[in-house]
């Protein structure tokens, strides 16, 4: 099987595909997520998601056979708290992830109750609406150490040759007070430009060093006061190995860019 590319997806705001006004705003993102499976060399055996909505003291792998839903958003219409995405989990993949991390000397735990948050179910619902691809989640570590997360990605690289699609789900800009404000646009643009420049580096060591030093980028802490939505990119950069990355597309919503990056180019 051909090696799978890896992706960092800017997943947008809350359950946006299920809210008409928001869905119109994210029309470009919706189109791109729907088309993404066509970029892959084959349908994945399973998907591993590192989501910006799950952090633990230690790296943790979801082991639920039938993952429940996690409605981790507020103030949305009532029907968005009844969304179901019935994709199965995969004990096989979860065990493989735990083994790869263990072999790399990285401590990890299991969670048999963790469900799909919107950073997980929103993009994957659009990609695989029939919920016919198993999904496993890997938490971030709550210290947000970029180097540790890059190392985790490096440990997971073999999955790409085993038919597993690895996705990091977050946002390139995540300042809740800044969305929709004119003054946020140049800040978000400058920070995304830094990330894009890092991602496209030919040398993986240079790329990973730039990402690890993200706080030195223009507007870094204004773009990410809390870096939960950025750290999944570190895992993806590690999993990319020597593969060069690129900006697959940028959507502009609420006056800020939301970029999605691809490593190991798809079709």
Residue boundaries of the structural domains of the chain: 6-263
Pair 48, 156: CB distance under 8 Å: yes
Exposure class string for 141-170: b at 16+ Cβ within 10 A, else e: beeeebebbbbbbbbbbebbeebbbbbbbb
pLDDT at site 202:
95
pLDDT at site 265:
81
Report the distance separating Cα 80 and Cα 68, nearest Å. 14
pLDDT digits (tens, 9 = 90+) for 77-101: 999 999 999 999 999 999 999 999 9
Reading the block at residue 181, the tokens are 């404000």
Report the distance separating Cα 135 and Cα 35, nearest Å. 19
Query: How many Cα atoms are found within 13 Å in the side-chain-facing hemisphere of 219?
Result: 20
Residue stretches of the chain with pLDDT short of 70? 1, 266-267
| Fold for the domain defined by 6-263 | Protocatechuate 4,5-dioxygenase; Chain B (3.40.830)
pLDDT at site 176:
96
pLDDT at site 242:
97
């Amino acid at each position: 099987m051909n090696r799978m590319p890896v992706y960092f997806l800017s997943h947008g705001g809350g359950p946006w595909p299920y809210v008409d006004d928001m869905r119109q705003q994210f029309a470009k993102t919706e189109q791109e997520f729907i088309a993404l499976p066509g970029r892959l060399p084959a349908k994945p055996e399973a998907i591993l998601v590192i989501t910006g909505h799950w952090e633990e003291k230690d790296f943790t792998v979801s082991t639920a056979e039938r993952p429940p839903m996690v409605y981790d958003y507020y103030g949305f219409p009532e029907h968005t708290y009844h969304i179901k995405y019935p994709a199965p989990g995969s004990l096989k993949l979860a065990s493989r992830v735990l083994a790869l991390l263990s072999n790399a000397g990285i401590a990890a735990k299991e969670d048999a109750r963790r469900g799909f948050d919107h950073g997980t179910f929103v993009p994957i619902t659009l990609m695989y609406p029939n919920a016919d691809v198993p999904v496993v989640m890997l938490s971030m570590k709550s210290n947000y150490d970029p180097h540790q997360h890059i190392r985790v990605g490096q440990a997971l690289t073999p999955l790409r040759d085993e038919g597993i699609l690895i996705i990091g789900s977050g946002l390139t800009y995540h300042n809740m007070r800044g969305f929709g404000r004119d003054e946020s646009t140049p800040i978000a643009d400058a920070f995304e430009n830094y990330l894009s420049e890092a991602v496209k580096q030919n040398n993986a060591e240079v790329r990973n060093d730039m990402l690890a030093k993200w706080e030195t980028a223009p507007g870094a802490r204004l773009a990410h006061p809390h870096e939960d939505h950025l750290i999944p990119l570190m895992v993806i950069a590690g999993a990319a190995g020597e593969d060069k990355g690129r900006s697959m597309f940028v959507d502009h919503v609420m006056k800020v860019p939301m970029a999605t990056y691809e490593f190991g180019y798809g079709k």
